[in-house]
């Protein structure tokens, strides 16, 4: 089955750029979606792929973007705010494994 690997935690200072990686075998050939989950809340979709470009649902700031190449997909959050502190989960759909999630990364804003 397909496996996605995320670091347990990432820290960033306010106003800086956070990059959260998601590793998978040839993940650059797949479409990766990202979810934000704040403590005690349900996940929220923050980026998804439309055709070949990363896009965001309405209401999600432009500061959130996704990219994907080789064996690593990346969620980039620019100008990080205290309110961005949350767990972030990557997800792919694979024809053999159906839906697969990474283990999640806790983003800490210092």
Partner 1 sequence: EVQLLESGGGLLQPGGSLRLSCVASGFRFSDDPMSWVRQAPGKGLEWVSAIGGRDANTHYADSVKGRFTISRDNSKNTLYLQINNLRVEDTALYYCARNQYSTTWYFASWGHGTLVTVSS
For residues 103 and 5, give the distance between their C-alpha atoms in angstroms, rounded to a whole number: 7
Nearer to partner 1 (CB atom), residue 80 or residue 89: 89
Could you report how far apart the first and last alpha carbons of the chain are, in Å?
36
Nearer to partner 1 (CB atom), residue 33 or residue 107: 33
User: What residues line the site for partner 1 (CB under 8 A)?
Assistant: 1, 30-31, 33, 35, 41-45, 48-52, 55, 57, 89, 91-93, 98-104
Shortest spacing between CB 83 and partner 1, in angstroms: 19
For residues 77 and 15, give the distance between their C-alpha atoms in angstroms, rounded to a whole number: 10
Nearer to partner 1 (CB atom), residue 37 or residue 76: 37
Shortest spacing between CB 19 and partner 1, in angstroms: 19
Nearer to partner 1 (CB atom), residue 15 or residue 96: 96
Cβ atoms within 10 Å, residue 3: 12
Residues in the chain, total: 110
Cβ-proximal residues to 18 (8 Å cutoff; 6+ apart), any chain: 10, 12, 76, 77, 80, 84, 107
Shortest spacing between CB 33 and partner 1, in angstroms: 4
Shortest spacing between CB 15 and partner 1, in angstroms: 28
């Amino acid at each position: 089955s397909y496996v996605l690997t995320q670091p347990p935690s990432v820290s960033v200072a306010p106003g800086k750029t956070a990059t959260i990686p998601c590793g998978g075998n040839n993940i650059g050939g797949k479409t990766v979606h990202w979810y934000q989950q704040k403590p005690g809340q349900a996940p929220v979709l923050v980026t998804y792929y439309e055709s070949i470009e990363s896009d965001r649902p309405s209401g999600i700031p432009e500061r959130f973007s996704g990219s994907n190449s080789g064996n690593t997909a990346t969620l980039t959050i620019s100008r990080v705010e205290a309110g961005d502190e949350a767990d972030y989960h990557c997800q792919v759909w694979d024809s053999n494994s159906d839906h697969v999630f990474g283990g999640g990364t806790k983003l800490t804003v210092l």
